[in-house]
Structures are given as C-alpha cells and as structure tokens.
Amino acid sequence: MSVQAADGPVRALLVEGVHPVAAELLSAAGVVVETEKRAFGPEELAERLQGVHVLGIRSRTQLTAEVLAAATDLRAVGAFCIGTNQIDLPSATERGVAVFNAPFSNTRSVVELAVAEMIALTRRLTVQDDAMHAGRWDKSAKGSHEMRGRRLGIVGYGRIGSQLSVLAEALGMSVRFFDTADRLALGNARRCATLDELLADSDVVTLHVDGRAGNSGFFGEEQFARMVPGAVFLNLSRGFVVDHVALRKHIESDHLAGAAVDVFPTEPAASGDPFESDLRGLPNVILTPHVGGSTEEAQLDIGDFVTGKLLGYLQNGTTALSVNFPEVLLPHLEGVTRLLLLHRNQPGAMAHVNSALADNGLNVEQQQLSTAGHVGYAVTDVRGPLTAQVVEQLRAMPEIMRVDVLPC
C-alpha cells in the first residue's frame, strides 16, 4: 500500500548510514527518500527537516526540542538502534510525532561481542597480540584464565543482560546479576540484593543499563574500588554511565586486569573523525567504536523492523511498539477515511470529537482508543464527506494535539 501526504508524496530523510533496506522498503511504498551517511548537528538538521515527514536516525543524531519545533512537517521518527535517549520524547509526543525503535534486533550482536571481549581479556589476548606484532615471543600462562568457573556479574538484566547470562552459563561461568527492576533469573543465575554485593563477588563485571538520565555517572571511583582485584570490566551500554578517568586509574594501578569499552561520553560524528579518550594506550584494554550492535545481520534486521513500524503508522496509523504513543492496531476497512487523533487524556475528549463528526454527517464505522499517561490516541474510520473544514474544526479543539487523515 502506498503512502501519501496531504500536499504530495511523503518525504523521508535517513541519516547516519541507516541500512539500505530501509530506503528500499520506503521507496517501494511511494516515499521519496534522501539518505546521508553522517550525523547532523541541530541547526543543520532543523534546516534539512523542512518538508520532511519521516526521519531515520541512529545513536549520534540529537533530536532536541528545538529541532522538533522547527520540523513542522515531521510525522514519525525511526530510531534504527535500541536506545532513544538521543530524542526528546516529551517534545515529540507534544508535537504529535510518533517514535519507533528496534528494541530486539541487535541483542544477539551485543551479547556475542561481550562474550568475545570477556574471553579476550581473561586470556590477555590483546597483550599477547601486541607483543607478537612487536616481534616479541612471550609464551606465558601468567594472568591468563579459563572462562569455566569464573564469576560473571551482570549489571542490568534486561534483554541483553539475560541473554548474556544464558551464554555465559554455557561457557561454565557462575552468573550473578543486579537490576533495580524485578527480573526473572534464568538458568542458575543468582540475583544480588545490591550492586556492592555483585562487585565484591565477580571476576568479570559487565554493564547493560539503559540510557535514562539518572544513570549518568552511575559507575565511578567508588564502584571500581569495590571490584575484586584482578577483575575485568566491560561497558557496552551508554558512554555517560562510566567515569573513564577512574577506570584508567584502576587499570594503571593493576587493580583491574583489563577492560573493554564500546561507548563513550563524547563520540565522533562520522567515521574517520579523530577519537580522543582517557582510555587510549592502556594495556589489555579493548576500545571499539560503538559497534556492539553493528553486524550486517543486526543492521539488516533493524532496517527491516523499524521501517515496517514506520510504514504501519504511515499507512494505517498503527502504533504497536511505539516508544511514545499509546498502542493502537485497527484492522483495515474498505471505503472509509481514517482519522489519526492524538489528544490530551482528559474526560470528554473523544465525546467532543465524535459529536463533531456526527454533526457533520460522518458515521463512525470503527474506532479504537488507547491512553498512556497524559495522552490518548484514537484511530477512527468514518464514512461520509470529510471536508477540510471538518478537519480544521477537529484541530481547533483545545484537547486535540494532532489530526492526520489517511485516504481510503
């Protein structure tokens, strides 16, 4: 099914090298697509979004309230990644911009990288590799350990943490985890009551926490000091979670045997840009450029998944798995006009809408409403003459935040 905007074709801008499958699927549905391999700063992004209805981003593009205010034509955003902390979600909701992400598609890729890095650090493969490339043959078992019997501490037991737990047990590791939410322990994993309990009982500590603002600076000097001497540390979650100066100190003092970091507080905007970090040059420290989910398989899955959600919204108003809209899925009905109504969740809002439709000779054939927090979202199929005047009447209602009309 093709999609159409009120004044012409739907236009999409995909940045940061979103997988080509996204452009292919959007184009097949009649969307005019522009692609860019780099991220944009706020001012340039605001300028590029003029006349754009759909924006596709990854983790580096910051979609601020100011950018959203300037993007008056924007209807939907696809975050082709797991996190959405780079998007001002309250502002997007207030402006009626639906946001979709890919919460599952690259989980396996992140988990496999974590397993590879745990093995590499515990066997000190990076140190041995450096020595060999420098022409030194230094055959020694000192500091090198098997994974079997090692104690793994997982901080954050969501989709990634719990899947890592299963693979780690298959390697013979003893798994414990800490999470502020109630989580079901898988296999023989043991829940720790506090973070300190986990740190004092883990040979490997790996972070898999989300990007909420409260996690900024979550892991610093105090936490590193509580880790077991000779332990290794991994962060494949968010860059602002960890104090890198403190981590460097504990690597240089030999308190920690190694670390692997995939995310950084400040990351270059594009491939090839200079990279600076307090962690550069340290022995047995693996630094990767935010590639935890960057396998060809994961990026293809993400491109397909997020684009499917965007097209579902553009074609039918479907908001299943939207990050910021209530979930609505209404079956297609022939011969009707579909209204997408985002409104403030207050008594009488839909009564006013339906009364206005009836007063203008429009019959509601089917309707589905869902609410979440302060907003409600209703998909309404009407039969009859839906004029521009009726649509403007709906938009003028104080409780209405956004009205979009989908053709028959």
Give me the active site residues, please.
238, 267, 290
> Are the beta carbons of 313 and 379 closer than 8 angstroms?
no
CA distances from 128 to 76, 81, 140 (A): 49, 34, 9
Alpha carbons 1 and 25: distance in angstroms, whole number:
11
Alpha carbons 158 and 179: distance in angstroms, whole number:
8
* DSSP symbol at 185: P
Sign of the dihedral through C-alpha 123, 126, 127, 133: positive
> Are the beta carbons of 360 and 328 closer than 8 angstroms?
no
HSE, side-chain direction, 13 A CA sphere, residue 327:
5
Give the number of other CB atoms < 10 A from CB of residue 138: 11
Alpha carbons 408 and 406: distance in angstroms, whole number:
7
Helix (H, G, I), strand (E, B) or coil at 153: strand
CA distances from 380 to 317, 336, 363, 386 (A): 10, 10, 10, 12
Alpha carbons 199 and 225: distance in angstroms, whole number:
9
The DSSP element (H or E) to which 363 belongs, if any, is: strand 363-372
Structure tokens at 106: 């690259």
For residue 196, give every residue at least 6 positions away whose Cβ sits within 8 Å of its Cβ, in sequence order, or none: 226
Alpha carbons 175 and 150: distance in angstroms, whole number:
9
Q: If we measure between CA atoms, which residue out of 148, 138, 178, 146 comes closest to residue 162? A: 178
Give the number of other CB atoms < 10 A from CB of residue 351: 9
Structure tokens at 168: 């780690």
